[in-house]
Structure 1
Amino acid sequence: MTDATALPPIVDQATWRRELDALRVREKAATRELDAIAAQRRRLPMVELPDYTLVGPDGPVRLVDVFEGRSQLIVYNHMWSPGKEWQCGGCTGFTSQYTRLDFLERYDARFVIVTQGTIDEALAYREKVGNRMDWYSTADSPFGEDMGAPLGGGFAVNVFLRDGDTVYRTWHTDGRGTEQLSHEFPLIDLLPWGRQEEWQDSPVGWPSRPTYEGWFDSPDIARLYGAAPV
């Protein structure tokens, strides 16, 4: 039974439209600001990278070859803790969203996952949780740590540009910066009660629980999407 205080005020249609229009002004301003941020991002300088070697399903592969002929590459650095049955629930849930990425081909781009786990461990976990993206290992390379995702802690998104056989790093984010790449939180934020997490600014009486409590953990992802019994 829902607490009666966890309900927005009930108003007439004209009042609702007026309040929505007022909010829309801020939403439009935020959209324009995101456009301006994207424009600034397109003007960022870049840094040339050394010739890293990762490991894929078929063995060692140069970073430049991970592009598979494309000019642009987005890499999600998946947090990894050696020997753990379940890896980071946030990373597992985040990457489970990406099941159809063919549209990136028209933008001369690719999106892959890189992790500090060995390739055998990484691929086994990929199947266990039903992930559909291509995975690579940096267990024998400094690439993960250099990109802000050291072994045992840290996740990140990095973007790269290839010019011939030379690879450049163009952008990086971590923490809540990754939310812009998720469809999960934007959808939840549309709901009247939002994320229902105690850190958020919500009206008195709104449902509230500790941060992360509502998130799917790795076993939940495996149960719903995994290809192997768990």
Structure 2
Amino acid sequence: MKYQVVSRDEWNAAREELLQREKEHTHASDALAAARRRLPMTPMEPVTVAGPKGQVPLQEVFEGRKMLIVYHFMWKQGAPHHKQCEGCTHSQAAMTAAVSAYLAARDVTYAVFSSGPLEEIIAYRDFMGWTMPWYSTAHSGEALATRDGGDLRCYLQTDDQVFQSYETKWRGIEAMMPSLQLLDLTPYGRQETWEETSEIIQLDEAGSWWRRDGRPVAQWTRTDEPVK
């Protein structure tokens, strides 16, 4: 696909046409979000996770709020920081304390679960400079297991019961990756092989650029130590 160069009037007309499509997409997304809210829920069996206070029931992860969003971070037990998952690291890089504060304002707690030992996952969180609560599910059983890649799950708590309301993975995780949403606004996009884009640029396999010089890209904001 070759890029066109047109007059400002022609550009304005083309932009207006695309804007109408963007509005349709927004309305369709709103309708999908409404359907997501109407999705039936399923009760959770009693289960515990390991945190700073030891094994605690899932209810404590809510921190007194009604709703909980959990990202299940794939974990390579015993591996050094640079060997941990670049996709999961990418998804968490934008989950700042400010984002958690905005979620809390809507009665939602954000947390991360991993199957690794608590001391390992907390060391990684601290290395990355993150502040979100992170719990180990090493002894939590199948109900909280990370299944074939990182995933995002939502829960609702009533007086005496926890329900799972939603779950997504793969492309669904992109809701946590604003870098991808911003790249989608640019002429070259994500520069990945699946995209329709210019013939003059080099394209990479999807997600392959999330790791650079042996580390997940976000780690280079925390260290300049080469990977040996």
TM-score in same-fold range (> 0.5):
yes
User: Counterparts of 2:53 and 2:216 in 1: how far apart (Å)?
Assistant: 28
| Corresponding letter in the other structure for 1:57 | P
What is the aligned partner in structure 1 of residue 28 from structure 2?
Answer: 33
> What pairs up with 1:161-172 in 2 under 5 angstroms?
161-172=156-167
| 1:46-195 superposed matches below 5 A | 46-85=41-80, 86-99=83-96, 100=98, 101-142=100-141, 145-147=142-144, 149-150=146-147, 153-195=148-190
Gaps of 5+ in 2: none
Contact residue 96 and residue 130 of structure 1 kept, 8 A: no
One-letter amino acid of the counterpart of residue 108, structure 1: D
- TM-score of the superposed pair, with normalisation by structure 2: 0.89
Aligned with 2:165: secondary structure? Answer: strand
Q: Aligned with 1:159: secondary structure? A: strand
- With normalisation by structure 1, the TM-score equals 0.88
% same residue: 35
Shift of 1:216: 4.4
Q: What is the deviation of 1:134?
A: 1.0
- How many residues are matched? 220
Contact 1:159/1:169 (<8 A) preserved:
yes
Q: 189-198 vs 212-221, which deviates more?
A: 212-221
Aligned pair in 2 of structure 1 residues 149, 221: CA closer, same or farther (>3 Å)? same
Distance 2:176 2:69 in 1: 11
Native 8 Å contact 1:197 1:208 kept in 2: yes
SS of 1:195's equivalent in the other structure is: coil
Q: Deviations over 1:54-92 (max 9, x none)?
A: 001221111011101100000000011222222110101
Contact 2:48 2:56 in 1 (8 A): yes
Q: How far apart, CA to CA, are the structure 1 residues paired with 2:92 and 2:218? A: 10
1:225 maps to what in 2?
Answer: 222
Pick closer, same or farther for the CA change 1:148–1:203 going to 2, 3 Å.
farther
Q: CA deviation at 1:219?
A: 4.5
Q: Distance in 2 between matches of 1:209 and 1:43?
A: 38
**Cα contact 1:130–1:222 (8 A) shared by 2:** no
**Offset at 1:106?**
1.7
Unaligned runs of 5+ in 1: none
Tell me the amino acid that sits aligned with residue 58 of structure 2: L
Aligned-pair distance for 1:125?
A: 1.2
For 2:226 and 2:112, locate their aligned partners in 1 and report how far apart those are by CA, in whole Å.
Answer: 23
State how far apart, in whole Å, the 1-side matches of 2:211 and 2:133 are.
Answer: 22
Q: Is the contact between residue 188 and residue 198 of structure 2 (CA under 8 Å) also seen in structure 1?
A: no
Contact 1:147 1:156 in 2 (8 A): no
Whole-Å Cα distance in 2 between the matches of residues 17 and 130 of structure 1? 43
